[in-house]
Amino acid sequence: MGRLNGKVAIVTGAGMGLGAAIVKRFAEEGAIVVGTARRENNVQNVMDELRKNGEYELLALHQDVSNREDWKTVVKTTVEKYGKIDILVNNAAQASDKNVLLCTEEEMVNLFKTNVLSIMIGIQEVMPEFEKLGKGSVVNVNSLAGIVSGDADNASAAYSASKGAGRSLTKHAAYYLAEKNVRVNSIHPGPIMTPMLEGYLKDNQAMADRVKQYNPLPPHISGPEDVANGVLYLASDEAACVTGAELVVDCGHLVM
């Protein structure tokens, strides 16, 4: 406990799933967490639930991550309330399920706005606060789809392309911001277990067997908390000499 004591973190896409798990882990480790999402009430619900188990400093804000003015508002509100920003977690993402022959121009552009443009704008808007501190940490939540295709990208051309771009942008930012003592890393989850996915696998033995074959390490599908633990490490001072890294959390998918 206490691995993020005194840190102020912004976490996008914080209203459910992995984003909610990241907010929880950061709060448990002592961070002040500003969670954002298009549906602010979802983030507030996550935070209200957390407060039942502890006295955490949490703030829910509305944000469209592809909109620069929303970023300016989130940064300004965070600094006015808490005085600084130490950590930025770009977790918000959009998915699709159309392959390269079916994907539309609109779908490709929309996913790039949410999955790539948001990373660039977020870093640009938070950087002045990092420079005031003389350091900072950015964690970009990517995907196996940024590295390989097949099962990893759910047959989505736009998702695969946008995650590949996010992977490259992470390395670019890591190189150019290193001189400012700002670390930029990415985490690449495989499938993440949800109640819906768990129910689906129970009813589809063939798919459950396929998951075990392609993700050989039990439990074969990571939980949100498993990925959140990786984000915690990259965000924390424990990773002080780590930048441009790609942390894969996939139950062994990439070793196949």
Before 219, cis peptide (omega within 30)?
yes
- Determine the residue type at 190: G
Separation between Cα atoms, residue 115 and residue 66, nearest integer Å: 8
Contact 76, 125 (CB under 8 A): no
Separation between Cα atoms, residue 23 and residue 90, nearest integer Å: 12
Contact 215, 221 (CB under 8 A): yes
- Determine the residue type at 156: S
Contact 34, 10 (CB under 8 A): yes
Active site residue 159: yes
Burial class (CB in 10 A: 0-12, 13-18, 19+), 154: middle
With the C-alpha atoms ordered 70, 184, 189, 18, is the resulting torsion angle positive or negative? negative
Q: What angle do CA 246, 73, 170 make, to 5 degrees?
A: 15
Closest CA to 22 of 32, 11, 30, 31: 11
Of 56, 82, 159, 175, which is the active-site residue? Answer: 159
Annotated catalytic sites, by residue? 159
